[in-house]
């Protein structure tokens, strides 16, 4: 199963909004909330999964807004998501990042992160956002 990973482009946003809107309980973030940095996993010219990563002025970064294509029904979706997270880690490490953080409440994403060696806090947190 050969996956390709590319940088997100501005034109990918409309596709990602469709994906977020399809998944129950997900709300697409406004474009102004997203960084210019993100990745898309593809296979055979099919977009499978994507994420954004936020860089900071410290040695920490955030991987966020992970979403997958609901129309992609192949059994390798989990591997595609694992590839996405792993490549994001590699990109961030090359940029000098030492600590990576993410937030999730979705059991499948939590399991993938755990299998990749991430520490999962047993106490749930809440996203707290204020629009200025």
Q: Is residue 32 part of a domain?
A: yes
d(CA 100, CA 3): 23
Q: What is the CATH number of the domain that holds 24?
A: 3.40.630.30
d(CA 100, CA 87): 13
DSSP string, 66-112: EEE-TT---TTHHHHHHHHHHHHHHHHHHTT--EEE-----HHHHHH
d(CA 26, CA 98): 29
The residue range of the domain holding 107 is 4-115
Digitized pLDDT (tens) for each residue of the chain, 132 residues in all: 699 999 999 999 999 999 999 988 888 999 999 999 999 999 999 999 999 999 999 999 999 999 999 999 888 999 999 999 999 999 999 999 999 999 888 888 889 999 999 998 888 887 788 777
Work out how many domains the chain is built from and give that number.
1
Please state the separation of Cα 48 from the chain's center in Å. 11
Q: Is residue 131 part of a domain?
A: no
Q: Is residue 70 part of a domain?
A: yes
- What's this model's pTM, rounded to 2 decimal places? 0.89
Q: Is residue 76 part of a domain?
A: yes
């Amino acid at each position: 199963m050969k996956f390709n990973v590319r940088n997100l482009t501005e034109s990918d946003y409309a596709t990602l909004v469709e994906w977020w809107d399809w998944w129950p309980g997900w709300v697409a973030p406004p474009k102004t909330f997203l960084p210019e940095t993100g990745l898309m996993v593809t296979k055979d010219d099919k977009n499978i999964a994507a994420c954004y990563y936020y860089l900071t002025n410290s040695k920490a970064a955030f991987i966020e807004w992970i979403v997958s294509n609901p129309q992609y029904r192949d059994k390798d979706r989990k591997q595609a998501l694992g590839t996405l997270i792993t490549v994001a880690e590699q990109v961030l490490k090359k940029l000098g990042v030492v600590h990576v953080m993410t937030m999730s409440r979705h059991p499948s994403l939590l399991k993938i992160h755990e299998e990749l060696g991430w520490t999962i806090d047993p106490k749930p947190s809440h996203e707290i956002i204020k629009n200025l």
